[in-house]
Chains A and B, each alone.
Chain A
Amino acid sequence: MTEGQILLDPTSEISPVKRPRRARSASLGGRRFGLLDINKARGDVFLDRIEALLKARGHAVNRYRKTRFSIVAPIELKQRIVSQCDIVVEALAD
């Protein structure tokens, strides 16, 4: 592994070097929501409100929680979110 290594593009170069963000869902209909509390203060207040609003609109909502905001989410948690949700809302900062 070297720092700032340069690789030559093996592709047809018809897509930009900088990968675009994943497109947002065109509609929220039928989407399964995950609300991730990373354990920052008052993140739960924000997510409780979001959950109430989503449920009022008939969406399925799952809640997830990290044990500490400063650690990377464990693989098991990430896999659970990926397999159970289409859209994730994360409460990042207090």
Chain B
Amino acid sequence: MMRFSDGLIAVVKRDCPTCTLIEPVIRQLANEGEPLTVFTQDDPAFPAGAGTVIDDTDLENSYHLEIDVVPTLVRIRDGKEAARTYGWDRTEWETLTGIRGLGAGLPESRPGCGSKTREPGMGSRLAVRFGDVKFKARNIELPRLADDIEACYERGWTDGLPVVPPTRERVLEMLGGTRRDPQDAVGVIPPDRIECTVEKAAINAVMAGCKPEYFPVVLTAIEAALVPDFGLHGILCTTNFVGPVVMVNGPIARAIGMNCKVNALGQGNRANATIGRALQLVVRNVGGGRPGEIDRAVLGNPGKYTFCFAEDEDDPAWESFAVERGYARTASTVTLFCGEGVTPVMDEISRTPESLAGSFAAVLRGIHHPKQVSNVDALLVVTPEHAAVFHRAGWSKQRLKEEVRARLMIPARELLRGYGGIDAGLTPEQAGNLDGTIPKFRPSGLNIVRAGGGAGKFSGIISGLGSITINSVTKEIES
């Protein structure tokens, strides 16, 4: 903390009408004999004729004085602040200075203006420059005139798209999105098994383009991805298509402006786009999970850049996925699903729940392979027009799930190798009783969520992997 010498300090800026109004008062104080220091935030020539006017356009003094409003008048006694007033109020200024008759002819009071230290983004800039902000992460000093975005590419920090350069100021802003200590461990990130701190997560969230208010969701997404049941290491290194799919439930989704409506699984919403991307950048940069190295995906899928959406909870007829999982309606949660792309279910004709459930089952049957009945999970994303068919008939979400599951009990014979002229399939030993049926999905493997725009009789399937080592995981976001 800076020390200021005893006497009066006035902090002003020319851009403030109240500061220009009281210019004669400042001059009056300067001429009264008591030591006066004036810090001027925007124009070193202002106020004119006021004794010691110090150029504070870099705002160092204003920062250390914690100025919120200009003008501010401070009395320093014995090296410490003894009194402070802000704006113009004749009585307060007279009390603080002990001088009567200040500002003759001026109004009794006028509110001040915001200090330049309170301009957007200024707080973190000043804290990094003049405060005692410390980061544990290494500083990477770029050569003069280097393009910062290109520098991030050259260091291999990006997923192929440009990242926001993680300056100290931006990272400090991001850390403001959580109450957690920057050096708190979020978890150990595969494949390199490196501990990810809140600070490292913040750096990557900055690069992904997150706002600080998204950061609690990012932290919870990372934690959920690290729950052993999710199987992140396997998801990373598989030759399969999958990546982490993030679904957000609860009030935070609305609070941070996530999209659960038109184009909910598509592009265009900052929160959706950047939260999913932040998780993937943490995996890449902290964990070392990079394509072509540990990530051996044959094709991958575009959702590996980012795949994040919110469930639509506006329609009260069905409980949300998070409530199904035992969380309160008021809780905000993040669910991680090991998923690939989106398969459409297009049925514009069905008006009965039985028929529409039949359409869902028919498309779900083909996921991965019509004979694939293991290692396959799916999120069925039911849109409003399709949901209305079930609501009209009084079908609960649970009923729909059961009806679809019943339609996905597949005759074992149809799953055999060679059936339908296709060599792929089960051996007779795997198929067991050939007169019996085998479910397409394990009991926890098919779930129903809601999202989407109000027009269009289409739903979507987010297919994915599911096994004893790969499971969807839900975690509550700490407020």
Measured CB to CB, the residues of A under 8 A from B are 1-14, 17, 19
Contact = CB atoms under 8 A, between A and B. Distances in A.
Contacts of B152: 7
B148 A1 contact: yes
A11 B286 contact: yes
B148 A19 contact: no
A4 B152 CA distance: 14
17 contacts: A2-B148, A3-B144, A4-B143, A4-B144, A6-B139, A6-B141, A6-B142, A6-B167, A6-B168, A7-B139, A8-B139, A9-B139, A10-B137, A12-B192, A12-B285, A12-B286, A12-B288
B194 A7 contact: no
A74 to B, nearest CB: 19
Interface string B170-208: 010000000000000000010010100001100110010
Contacts of B207: 10
B395 to A, nearest CB: 47
Given A9-B138, A10-B166, 6 more contacts: A5-B148, A7-B139, A7-B142, A10-B207, A10-B281, A12-B288
B436 to A, nearest CB: 50
Given A5-B148, A8-B171, A19-B155, A13 B165 contact: no
Interface in B201-225: 203-204, 207
Contacts of A7: 139-140, 142, 148, 151-152, 165-167
Contacts of B139: 6-9
Contacts of A13: 137-138
B153 interface: no
B147 interface: yes
Contacts of B167: 5-8
A9 B155 CA distance: 10
B197 to A, nearest CB: 11
A14 B189 CA distance: 14
A2 B146 CA distance: 8
Contacts of A6: 139-142, 167-168
A5 B223 CA distance: 32
Nearest to A13: B138
Nearest to A8: B137
A54 B137 CA distance: 47
A8 B192 contact: no
Contacts of B4: none
Pick the most buried of A3, A12, A13, A14: most chain B CB atoms within 10 A of its CB.
Answer: A12
A1 B199 CA distance: 24
Given A9-B203, A10-B203, A3 B155 contact: no
A93 to B, nearest CB: 24
A10 B148 CA distance: 14
A8 B138 contact: yes
Contacts of A2: 148
Given A10-B200, A10-B286, A5 B137 contact: no
Contacts of B130: none
A4 to B, nearest CB: 5
Contacts of A9: 137-140, 203
Contact of A1 (B141, B145, B203, B204): B145
A69 B453 CA distance: 59
Contacts of B419: none
A54 to B, nearest CB: 30
B71 interface: no
B327 interface: no
Interface string B120-142: 00000000000000010111111
A22 to B, nearest CB: 13
B141 A10 contact: no
Contacts of B165: 5, 7
Contacts of B141: 4-6
Contacts of B135: 8
